Structure 1
Amino acid sequence: MISSYTDLLNAANAEPEPQRLLFVFCRAELPDDASESEKAAFASGEGGALVPVVCVDKALDDVTDFGALVDESRQTGQMWDVVFVAAMSGRGGVQPTTDEAQQPLTMMVESIRLGHLGNYLPLDRKGQAIALG
């Protein structure tokens, strides 16, 4: 059971093939046509839609500290509420490249836009797994 970013790194490092991590940072937004009850729920931290604002792929060696990842995300100027993470396996002992990660990362962004979140690990700004729904 993965309940934190540290757990994720441990699991990825335990895989037989080298891993590349895919990150999609999302901001919670309230639709313009939201009802009063939806607005109230959103104000209390519930509901809304998750909108991808930044995506990136990283080698495991480049993301050993969640705090550093958060700091790097600040440099984009985009505020975010949740980051979705997926792992991509290499082959023959070779880690996937950024070029190889581009299509899966694009598909991940589209999947999240459509609300299909089940294949990804959602983490809060502290690197703790969260339950959505």
Structure 2
Amino acid sequence: MTTHERCPADTGQDQALDVFAQLCPSRAVFAELADKWSLLILMSLGEFGQQRFSELQRAVDGVSRKMLTQSLRTLERNGLVRRTVYPETPPRVVYDLLPLGRELAALVSPMGHWTELHTDRMLAAREEFDRAHTGG
């Protein structure tokens, strides 16, 4: 078993970060990024490029306006997404990935595609598990 260095909540630049440590700031950042809407937004922007709010909402089917707004703000705050307002009538707002966001989207997109490829196998495994554990 690996022993992880547990970083304190007030870690400095020279302190190693550890997402496994409860009080490490990297854990909170990881949790923000790992929610389903943020990952899907990153994938959409990574695969389709710059998008308006309504385009993102259509691309990420099922996300509410409130959750999309909240997730975009979190991604923007973390330096992953840029929000650009063009002074037109009506104003045009677009979202695109910053370099850090492009790097993360490149890691997340293969996981999404892997999921699509293997969903049938996982659904079959769920059914088998449920049958074995419910006696049916």
Query: What's the TM-score bracket when you normalise by the shorter of the two chains?
Result: under 0.3
Q: TM (normalized to structure 2)?
A: 0.24
Name whichever structure is richer in strand by fraction: 1
Task: Give the greater-gyration-radius structure (CA).
Answer: 2
Give the structure with the larger helix fraction.
Answer: 2
Taking structure 1 as the reference length, the TM-score comes to 0.25
| Larger RCO, structures 1/2 (Cα 8 Å, 6+ apart) | 1
